[in-house]
Amino acid sequence: MVNIAVLGYGTVGSGVVEVINTNHDSINKKAGQEIQIKYVLDLRDFPGDPIQEKIVHDYNRILEDDEVDIVVEVMGGVEPAYTYVKSALEKGKSVATSNKELVAKHGSELIAMAKERKINFLFEASVGGGIPIIRPLNQSLTADEICEITGILNGTTNYILTKMRNENREFDEVLKEAQELGYAERNPAADVEGYDACRKIAILSSLAFGSQVDYEDIYTEGITNITAKDIVFADQFGYTIKLLGSSKRIDGQIYCMVAPTMITEDNPLYSVNGVFNGIFVKGNVLGDVMFYGSGAGKLPTASAVVSDIVDEVKHLHTNIMTTWSSRKLELADIKNAKKRFYVRMEGARSEKQAEAEEVFGAIQAVESEKVPGEFAFLTEEMSEKEYEERAAKIKGIVNRIRIGR
Ligand code: HSE
């Protein structure tokens, strides 16, 4: 029998308990041993709930109990999670976590600590909710040099953008719905400003390229500037708007960013809708692979956490290698990245198109009865820097969105 302790009885923590209880027999069979939840750490009490008998408020009880082999950290946030996880590893306990803030910030250090002690620090649920992506990057795609990872990595914003497009609804109203469904972060800015997707692409990039990608270095733009007007014009051009986290190797340099991006039907991420996440990976020998599934929510996330617990039970005194060194990877300046841009402008197309052409060169422009007094156009390919220089020469730009491949 292997004893585990769950830190946090919130959405994911209660999901972990539910998954272990529901699939008890098959999970134990796959793990090769019985998994027993010995403690659940939470500040609160849950009178009347059977979980109450396992609730403890003092982390030291878990830390000092040599019978606990695995600590499951599902509290979220960097502290106290970092202190708790570090002390668990120091005590020789493996850790499974869903905490992307913790992994993005301290992943390389915690991985190294686990390796030294021949235990494990696993974090499948930190990216893509229930989608297996960390394990494939670590174990299945090892023959390849990764050239690109591009993903819809945040379920809340994908849910919002999908609803805005399909149901013609307002941003705030849909955000509220996503929060009620348990997808959103406690602080909605983490989702809508792109910070959550930023941490996730930092984790994936660090694993794919084997060195530390600091999330603070990643250019990040959220979806708060996306309006119904942009959705109308995007539709007219045959595009949909997705919040993409992307890391690409171009001429030996890594370009990494998070930004709303317009993509066409040819892009495999086009049909990833609602709370679903999709992650596209390109390897130099494998070519393209896509990972798709539930990117947020209690049970999908818990399913990924429990898969890590099972792996840790199977490898109690063996470290499962993770290639993520603490050596910092210097990212390329995205100002040199080239792409096409969508631009929405104030004014009638008949009056302003010529001026826009003078500044941007050849453009493809449209107007719509649904958006009176404005028009939109697509530029040819240019660097971000070149776009900014040109855009500064013309008045009336209301929004611009990058065009993806
Ligand atoms: N708030 C996150 C999302 C939860 O919406 O994707 C899963 O990490």
Q: Could you tell me if 109 and 223 lie in one domain? A: no
- In whole angstroms, how far apart are CA 245 and each of 168, 233, 279? 25, 23, 9
Task: Tell me, using a 6 A CB cutoff, whether residue 103 lines ligand 1.
Answer: no
At 400 the pLDDT is 98
pLDDT in tens, 360-373: 999 999 999 999 99
Q: Could you tell me if 84 and 175 lie in one domain? A: no
Task: Tell me, using a 6 A CB cutoff, whether residue 178 lines ligand 1.
Answer: no
Q: Is the pLDDT of residue 345 over 90?
A: yes
| Residue having the nearest C-alpha atom to atom 4 of ligand 1 | 296
Domain count, the chain: 3
Distance (angstroms) between ligand 1 centre and the Cα of 254 equals 25
- Helix-helix angle 384-391:349-360, to 10 degrees: 130
Q: What is the average pLDDT value for the chain, to the nearest integer?
A: 96
Task: Find the CATH number of the domain harbouring 71.
Answer: 3.40.50.720
pLDDT tier for residue 169 given thresholds of 50, 70 and 90? confident
pLDDT in tens, 19-28: 999 999 999 9
Please state the atom number of ligand 1 nearest to the C-alpha of residue 295. Answer: 6
More confident residue, 339 or 176: 339
Strand partners, 346: 374
At 146 the pLDDT is 95
| Residue having the nearest C-alpha atom to atom 1 of ligand 1 | 184
Q: Tokens 């930092």 appear where? A: 202
Token readout for 230 is 């942009």
Q: Is the pLDDT of residue 173 over 90?
A: no
Residue 136 domain flag: no
Half-sphere exposure of 233 (CA within 13 A, CB side): 26
Task: Tell me, using a 6 A CB cutoff, whether residue 99 lines ligand 1.
Answer: no
Which residue, 314, 347, 363, sits at the end of a domain? 314
Q: Find the mean pLDDT for residues 81-93.
A: 98
Q: Could you tell me if 170 and 288 lie in one domain? A: yes
Distance (angstroms) between ligand 1 centre and the Cα of 243 equals 13
pLDDT tier for residue 139 given thresholds of 50, 70 and 90? confident
Name the pairing type of β-strands 397-403 and 338-346: antiparallel
Q: Is the pLDDT of residue 171 over 90?
A: no
Q: Could you tell me if 152 and 258 lie in one domain? A: yes
Task: Find the CATH number of the domain harbouring 372.
Answer: 3.30.70.1150
| Residue having the nearest C-alpha atom to atom 7 of ligand 1 | 296
- DSSP annotation of 335 reads G
pTM of the model: 0.97
Q: Tokens 């499948």 appear where? A: 124
Please state the atom number of ligand 1 nearest to the C-alpha of residue 100. Answer: 8
Mutate to test the pocket of ligand 1, among 74, 126, 131, 191 (most ligand atoms within 8 A of CB): 191
Q: How many residues does the chain have?
A: 405
Return all residues near 379 (Cβ < 8 A) that are at least 6 apart. 340, 341, 343, 360, 361, 363, 387
Task: Tell me, using a 6 A CB cutoff, whether residue 196 lines ligand 1.
Answer: yes
Which SS3 state, helix, strand or coil, does residue 222 take? coil
Residue 330 domain flag: no
Half-sphere exposure of 84 (CA within 13 A, CB side): 28
Q: What is the largest CA-CA distance in the chain?
A: 76
At 120 the pLDDT is 98
Residue 324 domain flag: no
pLDDT in tens, 94-120: 999 999 999 999 999 999 999 999 999
Distance (angstroms) between ligand 1 centre and the Cα of 116 equals 31
pLDDT tier for residue 135 given thresholds of 50, 70 and 90? very high
Which residue, 279, 314, 349, sits at the end of a domain? 314
**Lowest pLDDT segment from 89-93, 140-144, 249-253:** 140-144
**Using an 8 Å Cβ cutoff, are 100 and 199 in contact?**
yes
Residue 348 domain flag: yes
pLDDT tier for residue 50 given thresholds of 50, 70 and 90? very high
More confident residue, 174 or 340: 340
Among residues 112, 87, 132, 149, the alpha carbon closest in space to that of 304 is found at 132
pLDDT tier for residue 405 given thresholds of 50, 70 and 90? confident
Query: Would you please indicate which residues are annotated as catalytic (active-site) residues?
Result: 200
Range of the domain at 122: 2-129+298-314
Mutate to test the pocket of ligand 1, among 185, 200, 243 (most ligand atoms within 8 A of CB): 185
pLDDT tier for residue 268 given thresholds of 50, 70 and 90? very high
Q: Could you tell me if 189 and 117 lie in one domain? A: no
Among residues 221, 240, 222, 220, the alpha carbon closest in space to that of 230 is found at 240
**Using an 8 Å Cβ cutoff, are 60 and 84 in contact?**
no
pLDDT tier for residue 170 given thresholds of 50, 70 and 90? confident
pLDDT tier for residue 144 given thresholds of 50, 70 and 90? confident
